[in-house]
Amino acid sequence: MGNRTVIPIGPYHPLQEEPEFFRLWVEGETVVDIDVNIGYNHRGIEKLCELKTYDQIPFVVERVCGICSTSHPLAFVNAVEDLADIEIPERARYIRSIIAELERIHNHLLWVGLAGHFLGYNTVWMWAWRYREPVLDILEKITGNRQNYAMMKVGGVRRDIEDADIPDILRLVDDLVPAVDMFKGAILDDPVLHARLKGIGVLTKEEVHNYGAVGPTARASGVAVDVRRDDPYAAYDLVDWDVVTQEEGDVFAKAVVRVLELYESVKIVKECLERLKKTKGEIDVKVKEIPSGEGIGHAEAPRGEVFHYVRSDGTNRPIRHKIKSPSYTNVPTFKATVIGGTISDATITLAAVDPCYSCTERVAVVDKKTGRRRLNGEDLVRLSQEKTERIKRSMGL
């Protein structure tokens, strides 16, 4: 038994720009245990959504995450359309896919840059972010914003893509391919990067299932989950594309999945734009009212599946809105990947799932006097059982 030291990563640390707190118990350089603590930035979005109308909520959930700022609204409108049984026009479906894929491209480039930064490879960081700029330019051209595009609405999209703009956009998208080729060469063929990333933070197939990991994290371990294919929304069942998977499950495989997904995304964007030229018609349908009931919607955010649940009582606001972001299941996989590695590996392993903490924030109620957590899992089970008993009694069972 060696000497255990606690190495803190966070709550404020140059590793990631969000408040998060990892306690690494280390013996020498080896990590023997990890404790993940988040919740520094809880904003009560779900509660806020219950106070907003269906038209306002996309703007709120857009701000759940700065990077997945179209995946959350997309999952939300999917949920409401599921609830109210709304068919959206084909044109709107293409536009939704275009925005979502452009978001994926800029997110993956962002991740490549950050991963470089975490490894001390600042040139990759700056270069990746430089080539991310044209993507943001395209998004600004289409939506008017670099982030928080405000494109999704229940029943369609808010802005159309003009036919006259399509050649310009296509040219910008085509220009991305050489840049992606360059990153593919620079990252996937660099022997030093191989030494740093291969065999590090391995997540096995079984662990993916146990932790419920999603997105590139799961796909890098050979689990081909992708909401875009498994439960198509927007235009993903109308265009031709592949789910990228790798078998190894290490950090390198996660990088490979993301880089190869860039090509798929470019392919989807281009095909959607071509089809958009030939598809005429409205970009939205008029939604008169939302019936009572419940709906679920999900979308494949760059980091994995975003899940939204909406329950309506027939008014213009939901009475419950539940959000599950991908990091919620991806972050606990650190238990499986970080322990046993070194501190140097820990930082890149933590980054490899592309975690987003503010999306994942949950709140805990602590009794100030006793320091005990109130409303923990056991309490909730007890409350639910009591309620069942009450209902049973009232029904005379």
The residues of the shown chain that bind another protein, judged by CB under 8 A, are 5-8, 13-15, 26, 28-29, 116-127, 130, 190, 192-193, 195-196, 342-347
Closer to another protein by CB, 192 or 397: give it. Answer: 192
Q: How many helices (H) and strands (E) does the chain have?
A: 16, 10
Phi, psi of 382 (to 5 degrees): -65, -45
Cis peptide before 232 (omega within 30 of 0): no
CB of 5 to another protein, least distance (A): 5
Kindly tell me which of 115 and 213 has the beta carbon lying closer to another protein.
115
* Closest distance to another protein from the beta carbon of 251 (Å): 12
- Residue pair 358/43 in contact by the 8 Å Cβ criterion: yes
What is the nearest approach in angstroms of another protein to the Cβ of residue 107? 20
Q: Going by DSSP bridges, is the β-strand pair 373-374/365-366 parallel, antiparallel, or unpaired?
A: antiparallel
Residue 56 or 123: the one with the smaller Cβ distance to another protein is 123
C-alpha triplet 342, 347, 349: angle, nearest 5°: 85
Closer Cβ to another protein, 65 or 119, answer by number? 119
Task: Tell me the DSSP string of 268-325.
Answer: HHHHHHHHHHH--S-SB-------SEEEEEEEEETTEEEEEEEEE-SSSSEEEEEEE-
Distance CA 85, CA 94 (A): 19
Shortest spacing between CB 123 and another protein, in angstroms: 5
Nearer CB in complex with another protein: 148/342: 342
Residue number with CB closer to another protein (130 or 280): 130
Residue closer to another protein, measured from CB, 164 or 192:
192
Burial 315-327 (b: 16+ CB within 10 A, else e): eebbeebebbbbb
* Strand, coil or helix: 8: strand
Closer of 114 and 234 to another protein (Cβ)? 114
Q: Shortest Cβ distance from residue 108 to another protein (Å)?
A: 18
* Residue 126 Cβ vs another protein, minimum distance, rounded to whole Å: 4
Q: How far is the CB of 197 from another protein (least distance, A)?
A: 9
The CA distances from residue 121 to 79, 198, 209, 341, in Å, are: 41, 16, 33, 20
Within the chain, strands assigned E span 4-9, 21-27, 30-37, 152-153, 156-157, 293-301, 304-312, 318-324, 365-366, 373-374
- Shortest distance in whole angstroms from residue 263 CB to another protein: 23
